């Protein structure tokens, strides 16, 4: 899946690399696979039930007759839980890397080997993607399902739905066409491009977030090598992540429901943080909901572009953190 999305992978990130095979050892036991599949099935049922209960406001009202809206509302809470679990898992797999190697008394051998420390951390970083691959595939797959729903909604009102959504927003997207030119609404073209940025960001954000969490965990493993400190740091980061997501979702939904007011100059920032760090743009994967954001947030139609840039910056920072972790690891005594 990763090669289809990201293109050719470096040698150390392919499953046939010896060090990566060593990192992934023990993952092919049949009994363990069946237990994992059973657990995943039970978890999926529980999460879908949770999503349905939340979407129907504790079974107090039926689902919307609009199919795409119902799917979005039911899947929102389960996907959010899976995304939080994905981030925590990526960090926890990588944060104990150096300490684990030192406890196995292999660190000195790796350090004296040419680029041994660097290759070890790179393969550990790549191994995170393989270990969370089932969870990542579910999250990306369901996001692609929601994207198909957006493409379906674009055909509503005889294909004029996007025109209606961008009508009257700030900035004005209606661009007059010069006399004699083909009758193509340039505002709609711009709206389609900006929406495409959002859809691209929605696919990339889970991948770049896993990469960043894994790189951050490896860097922290060079700082906190003892198991007790590792556990404390993981617990602290878990609480911080849950608190940050909770605050952003609370603030974002209160603003969207009109229960709190935010100055026009800050509303874009609130929605950007809501999408970038809160739910990875999940709420925006419903065209009607995203259109409401365009209507109430000045320049909100550029949120897709902002989230795409955020994903690219996050990928760059993940690369820098990984290189920083490698330099620190090579200097450890």
pLDDT at 81 over 90: yes
CA–CA gap between residue 191 and residue 183 (Å, rounded): 16
Work out the mean pLDDT of the chain and round it to a whole number: 86
Q: Which residue has the tokens 């729903």?
A: 149
Stretch among 33-42, 47-56, 72-81 having the lowest mean pLDDT: 33-42
CA–CA gap between residue 90 and residue 237 (Å, rounded): 12
pLDDT tens-digit map of 182-196: 445 667 888 899 999
Predicted confidence at residue 58, as pLDDT, reads 87
Predicted confidence at residue 171, as pLDDT, reads 87
pLDDT tens-digit map of 298-311: 999 999 999 999 99
The answer to whether 317 and 113 are in contact (CB under 8 A) is no
pLDDT at 87 over 70: yes
Greatest alpha-carbon span in the chain: 77
pLDDT tens-digit map of 249-308: 999 999 999 998 888 889 999 999 999 999 999 999 999 999 999 999 999 999 999 999
Choose among 138, 144, 117, 127: nearest CA to 203: 144
pLDDT tens-digit map of 197-240: 999 999 999 999 999 999 999 999 988 888 888 889 999 999 99
Token code pair at residue 160: 């004029």
The answer to whether 135 and 89 are in contact (CB under 8 A) is yes
CA–CA gap between residue 37 and residue 42 (Å, rounded): 9
CA–CA gap between residue 36 and residue 208 (Å, rounded): 25
Stretch among 36-45, 94-103, 179-188, 206-215 having the lowest mean pLDDT: 179-188
Q: How far lies 227's CA from each of 166, 223, 234, in Å?
A: 54, 12, 10
Stretch among 26-30, 38-42, 87-91 having the lowest mean pLDDT: 26-30
pTM greater than 0.75? yes
Token code pair at residue 121: 């951390």
Token code pair at residue 18: 């010896």
Predicted confidence at residue 119, as pLDDT, reads 86
Q: How far lies 116's CA from each of 128, 215, 272, in Å?
A: 19, 17, 40
Predicted confidence at residue 242, as pLDDT, reads 95
Q: What is the mean pLDDT of residues 132-143?
A: 94
Predicted confidence at residue 299, as pLDDT, reads 94
Distance between start and end Cα atoms, the chain: 38
Stretch among 22-31, 236-245, 261-270, 320-329 having the lowest mean pLDDT: 22-31
Choose among 198, 128, 214: nearest CA to 162: 198
């Amino acid at each position: 899946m990763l090669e289809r999305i990201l293109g050719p992978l470096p040698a150390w990130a392919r499953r046939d690399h010896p060090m990566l095979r060593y990192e992934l050892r023990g993952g092919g036991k049949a009994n363990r696979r069946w237990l994992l599949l059973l657990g995943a099935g039970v978890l999926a049922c529980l999460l879908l039930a949770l999503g349905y209960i939340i979407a129907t406001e504790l079974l107090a009202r039926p689902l919307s007759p609009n199919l795409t809206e119902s799917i979005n509302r039911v899947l929102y809470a389960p996907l959010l839980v899976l995304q939080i679990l994905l981030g925590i898992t990526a960090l926890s797999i990588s944060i104990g890397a150096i300490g684990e190697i030192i406890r196995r008394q292999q660190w000195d051998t790796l350090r004296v080997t040419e680029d041994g420390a660097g290759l070890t951390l790179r393969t550990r970083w790549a191994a995170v993607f393989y270990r969370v691959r089932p969870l990542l595939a579910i999250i990306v797959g369901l996001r692609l399902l929601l994207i198909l729903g957006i493409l379906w909604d674009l055909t509503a009102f005889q294909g004029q739905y996007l025109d209606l959504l961008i009508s009257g927003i700030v900035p004005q997207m209606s661009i007059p066409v010069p006399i004699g030119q083909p009758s193509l609404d340039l505002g709609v073209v711009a709206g389609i491009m900006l929406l495409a940025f959002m859809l691209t960001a929605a696919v990339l954000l889970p991948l770049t977030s896993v990469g960043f969490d894994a790189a951050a965990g490896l860097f922290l493993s060079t700082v906190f090598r003892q198991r007790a400190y590792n556990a404390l740091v993981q617990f602290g980061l878990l609480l911080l992540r849950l608190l940050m997501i909770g605050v952003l979702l609370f603030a974002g939904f209160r603003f969207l429901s009109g229960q709190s007011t935010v100055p026009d100059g800050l509303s874009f920032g609130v929605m950007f943080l809501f999408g970038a760090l809160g739910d990875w743009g999940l709420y925006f994967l419903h065209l009607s909901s995203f259109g409401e954001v365009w209507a109430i947030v000045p320049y909100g139609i550029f949120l897709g572009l902002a989230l795409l840039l955020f994903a690219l910056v996050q990928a760059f920072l993940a690369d820098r953190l990984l290189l920083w972790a490698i330099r620190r690891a090579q200097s450890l005594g």
